[in-house]
Structure 1
Amino acid sequence: MSSMPADTASTAGDDGIIIRARDVDVSFGEKKILEHLSLDVRRGEILGFVGPSGAGKSVLLRTILGLNAKQGGTIEVFGIDYHAASEREKLSVERRWGVLFQHGALFSSLTVRENIEVPMREYLDLSPKLREDLARLKIDLVGLAPDAADKYPSELSGGMIKRAALARALALDPEIVFLDEPTSGLDPIGAADFDQLIMTLRDTLGLSVYMVTHDLDSLFQACDRIAVLGDRKVLVEGPLSKMLDYDHPWVKSYFHGKRARTVVIPQAPSQEMPSEKSAGAA
């Protein structure tokens, strides 16, 4: 699927780990945001990354993408230490990921089609006709109507903006997509539809998904594994059942709180995560 040249299209490694973060430190001035944080993201999984507001979830995502500097540790993406890599190596990695930023981050002066073509213009040498054809294919892939191609972001609903931004994230046929609060601001039906879209794309395109979210429904319905950020590091990672058993004040409040009981508790702790059920059936 990826358009990477054969000589740079390294695999995730024998262990299937696409992203390997070890002992990562990130500070803004004197304020430490992340300290000795370690996390793996595996090929083909949907990883839900959660934590208190302001804990640094988006900071880690932006650090993985090279948008924030780190003060210590290593982050390997596709086996490449991205922060220490050459420009050519960084380019090879960037062409294999896609990003849906919080609130979509579409360019307001460009149509949906033109927004989707932006990564193609930057990384690929394609004719205008081929760029347009591929953009319209991505529009169809995320479930938008064909006439959305010529609309501007101001003409779209919140759900359409999310789907348009996802189409742009898929522009280069990435192997992994980063989603920052993808269901934020959507009504429950729209959020559930978006979760289903992510699962369908993962299954049909073989994507790996790194999803920063606070949505309990998304964690239960879509995620194969969950990682919880707290105290500047990953507190716990694993299936939902492990979250329910973990003894930490915030984790207990989040996964056993009043809202959680309506989403999670009736299905747990005896229930396995959806991916575990599928694995067992296989």
Structure 2
Amino acid sequence: MPPLVSDPARPNGAAAASQDDDIIIRVEDVTVRFGENTILDNLSLDVRRGEILGFVGPSGSGKSVLLRTILGLNQKQGGTIDVFGINYPEASDDDRLAVERRWGVLFQHGALFSSLTVLENIEVPMREYLDLSPALMHELARLKLDLVGLPQDAAGKFPSELSGGMIKRAALARALALDPDVVFLDEPTSGLDPIGAADFDQLIMTLRDTLGLSVYMVTHDLDSLFQACDRIAVLGDGKVLVEGPLSTMLAFDHPWVKSYFHGKRARTIVAPENAGHAQEGIV
């Protein structure tokens, strides 16, 4: 998928119309404050159809704040948020409901309901938004279990009986319950061992390719950024500092970006196409 170039100049004519058709979420000049503390300051960001967007930044910079603001869980003090062409914060209840049925969310640490089984957790969005018989909901929920690679005997287990990796997959199955067009992932590989994290990244890429998903992923995981993401956006000082493919991150001259993408840990997982640069001391 062609990357979005972080050039302020926008194409004209048919090319511009084509790019606009690919944008499913458009955040423009969004400001979020908590008291006197400004977290997001006129921030703008687009999410495109069929891409895995990795959203990264220093701890406390506002990554999860932006995610929650897009979802309507935080109030903004300025700017616009369009989702599927609808101004979501200002939309009618019916329009907001239509938007919400087209997204799924995997919150950090899974956020499964501890008193419900895995199957019951997956069915929660179906009970909220759909009018289905219990038997049909059970069948659909079991299909979601298969989709995320969980065994069927996990259906009757409670979250306390699951490993960390199984919790992530169960939460992903719940996020996919309504067959969404876009999924939001908040630190999806945190707490997983390297093998489990790599398997989860591969699962996300497979689901994107097979289901045509768009993925908005807040992450600190360098492996995920290097291997799974089509495009990366870096948050700093309340704004998007830079966005684009990995090559753009490696070339961007900013202290935090350089430290993050050129550090010792990054060197150990540098993409093969950048190996030549690594030998030259660029990476």
Give the TM-score, by structure 2 length. 0.90
1:254 partnered with 2:260 = yes
Match of 2:151 in 1: 145
Q: Give yes or no for the alignment of 1:47 onto 2:44.
A: no
Q: Distance in 2 between matches of 1:179 and 1:133?
A: 25
- How many residues are aligned here? 260
Structure 2 residue 141 is matched with structure 1 residue 135: yes
Q: Distance in 1 between matches of 2:188 and 2:276?
A: 28
RMSD of equivalent CA atoms: 1.4
2:35 matched to which residue of 1?
29
Which residue pairs with 1:280 in the alignment?
none
Which residues of 2 match residues 1-16 of structure 1 at below 5 A?
14-16=20-22
Instruction: Tell me which residue corresponds to 1:195.
Output: 201
Partner in structure 2 of residue 106 of structure 1: 112
CA distance in 2, matches of 1:65, 1:147: 32
Instruction: Pick closer, same or farther for the CA change 1:128–1:250 going to 2, 3 Å.
Output: same
Residue equivalent to 1:87? 93
- Residue by residue over 1:27-81, the C-alpha shift from the partner in whole angstroms, topping out at 9 and shown as x without a partner, is 0000000001000000000000000000000000000000000000000000001
2:23 maps to 1:17: yes
Q: Give the Å deviation of 1:268.
A: 1.5
More moved, 261-270 vs 25-34: 261-270
For 1:181-260, list aligned pairs within 5 A. 181-260=187-266
Mean Cα displacement is larger for which, 12-21 or 256-265? 12-21
User: Is this contact kept in 1: 2:226–2:271, CA < 8 A?
Assistant: no
> Separation in 1 of the partners of 2:175 and 2:243?
26
CA distance in 1, matches of 2:19, 2:97: 19
| Aligned-partner SS, 2:21 | coil
1:126 aligned counterpart, secondary structure: coil
- Once the two structures are superposed, residues 68-100 of structure 1 have per-residue CA deviations (whole angstroms, 9 ceiling, x without a partner) of 000000000000010110111100000000000
For residue 277 of structure 1, what is the aligned residue in structure 2? none
- The separation in 2 between residues aligned to 1:90 and 1:230, in whole angstroms, is 30
Cα deviation for residue 258 of structure 1 reads: 1.1
Q: Distance in 2 between matches of 1:265 and 1:129?
A: 47
Instruction: Flag as ranges the 4+ runs of structure 1 deviating above 2 A.
Output: 12-15
Three-state SS of the structure 2 residue aligned to 1:159 is: helix
**Among candidates 141, 160, 165, match of residue 171 of structure 2:** 165
Which one-letter code corresponds to 2:212 in the other structure? G
Identity rate, percent? 83
Q: Using structure 1 for the length normalisation, give the TM-score.
A: 0.90
Q: Hey, what's the Cα distance between the residues in 2 that align with 1:118 and 1:195?
A: 25
Which residue is equivalent to 1:66?
72
Structure 2: 5+ residue runs without aligned partners? 1-17, 278-283
Structure-1 separation of matches of 2:226 and 2:273:
9
Q: CA deviation at 1:14?
A: 4.8
* 5+ residue gaps, structure 1: 1-11, 272-282
CA contact (8 A) 2:222 2:266 kept: yes
On the 8 A contact 1:256/1:265 being kept in 2, the answer is no
Q: Deviations over 1:90-137 (max 9, x none)?
A: 000000000000000000000000000000000000000000000000
Q: Which amino acid aligns with 1:21?
A: V
Tell whether the 8 Å contact from 1:201 to 1:207 is kept in structure 2 after alignment. yes
Residue 115 and residue 142 in structure 1: after superposition, are their counterparts in 2 closer, same or farther (change >3 A)?
same
Structure 1 residue 269, shift from structure 2 partner: 6.8
Q: What is the alpha-carbon distance in structure 1 between the residues aligned to residue 34 and residue 275 of structure 2?
A: 39
> 1:171 is aligned with what amino acid?
A
For 1:60 and 1:72, how far apart are their aligned partners in 2?
Answer: 13
Q: How far apart, CA to CA, are the structure 2 residues paired with 1:17 and 1:108?
A: 36
- Provide the rounded CA distance (Å) in 2 between the counterparts of 1:137 and 1:224: 28
Counterpart contact for 1:13–1:78, Cα < 8 Å: no
The question of whether the paired residues in 1 share the 8 Å contact of 2:187 and 2:217 is answered with yes
Question: SS of the residue aligned with 1:173?
Answer: coil
Task: Quote the Cα distance in structure 1 between the aligned partners of 2:163 and 2:213.
Answer: 26
